[in-house]
Amino acid sequence: MILNNKTVLVTGGTGSLGKVLVRRLLSSESGGTPKKIIVFSRDEGKQHDMRVNYLNNKYGTDEIIYKNFNNLLEFRIGDIRNYADIRSAIDEVDIVINAAALKQVPTCEYFPKQAIDTNSNGVFNLVRAIQESNSHVETVIGISTDKAAKPINVMGMTKALQERIMISGNITIPRTKFICVRYGNVIASRGSVIPLFKHQIEVGGPVTITVPEMTRFLLSLNQAVDTIFFAIEHGERGEIIVPNAPSVTVLNLAKALIAETDVDIKITGIRPGEKMHEIMVSDEECTMTQAKENYYSIKPMLPELHHGEFKPALNKEFSSEDNVLDFDGTNALLKKHNLLPGMEVKEESGEILI
């Protein structure tokens, strides 16, 4: 059991991904029971809400999670931008999962320094803290995005730098394994397009889409967490783990959510920093990409981290334009995750998600 008796630090642990990740860790369903889970974030309100959510949990099916919460979960206020904060947080930690990020594309375009401070410099603080502390951190997982492949926006650029900072950590700190996971849009996560569409439908519309033919990769929060657990167990130092995720057009996504509701669709045009199609693996990375179960593994370009010979799994870039679900497929994907009209999205519980 890869996580059994480990102390796990989750930076940004009160976000959409962080909450599902913590719940999965508490339920002991993936990789054993950790010794301790530390939720590190700068928002005391979100930490309070998360703590109260567990304290008020009275459902019998959650008994194991509730008991684990009492014994395992620790909340810690801090900011990954602050070196002293992250330095003190990694003491006695075995595994770090960095989910702290500025992830909204328009926000990062208007406030690029804020994106650099969190997404790039914050990760540098983490790597530096591990190097200078002589800590016994075994594995660090960095959460990246498809926007880091051939980035055209600030969010993608800062995440691409995060990947490079993490990978280089394998050279300077050989006792610690640094791995990244890279994936696309997480369905129903805070700030994503599906909650926006649902709200627009509830208030009578219109549903605003940028370009009808625009495509995006989609996966659930639980699938995102599965990718993290896979990277912890199977990832090698310097790799970027990519799930083989489906993609949809924004038009089919909007139509599936609208269903029979009398709501108009309004085309608003592409926003600053957006791509028509996202790329999970670039052309330049194809020759370094290996298949691992239902994932791709992008091998590090640094020669010191090469892991021997392998047959490349891709002969072209992995783009959201390649294998797009039709309307029926999009509808089926949303139904699978209880997201069609009349179905309830339970973001915080981590049960239906997504």
The residues annotated as belonging to the active site are: 147
Contact 247, 217 (CB under 8 A): yes
φ/ψ of 124, rounded to 5, equals -60, -40
Distances (CA, A) of 255 to 146, 277, 341: 24, 19, 11
Contact 163, 149 (CB under 8 A): no
Cis bond leading into 206, ω under 30°? yes
Amino acid at 122: G
Closest by CA position to 267, among listed 216, 330, 214, 340: 214
Sequence length of the chain is: 354
Closest by CA position to 343, among listed 137, 175, 123, 187: 187
Angle, CA of 14, 19 and 23, to the nearest 5°: 140
Q: How far is Cα 288 from Cα 300, in angstroms, rounded to an integer? A: 8
Cβ-based neighbour number of residue 5 at 10 Å: 11
Q: Which residues contact 269 (CB under 8 A, 6 or more apart)?
A: 210, 211
Secondary structure of residue 175 in the 3-state scheme: coil
Q: How far is Cα 204 from Cα 181, in angstroms, rounded to an integer? A: 38
What 8-state DSSP symbol labels residue 117?
A: I
Structure tokens at 180: 């990244």
Q: How far is Cα 354 from Cα 351, in angstroms, rounded to an integer? A: 9
Q: How does DSSP assign 16-36, residue by residue?
A: HHHHHHHHHHHTT-SSS--SE
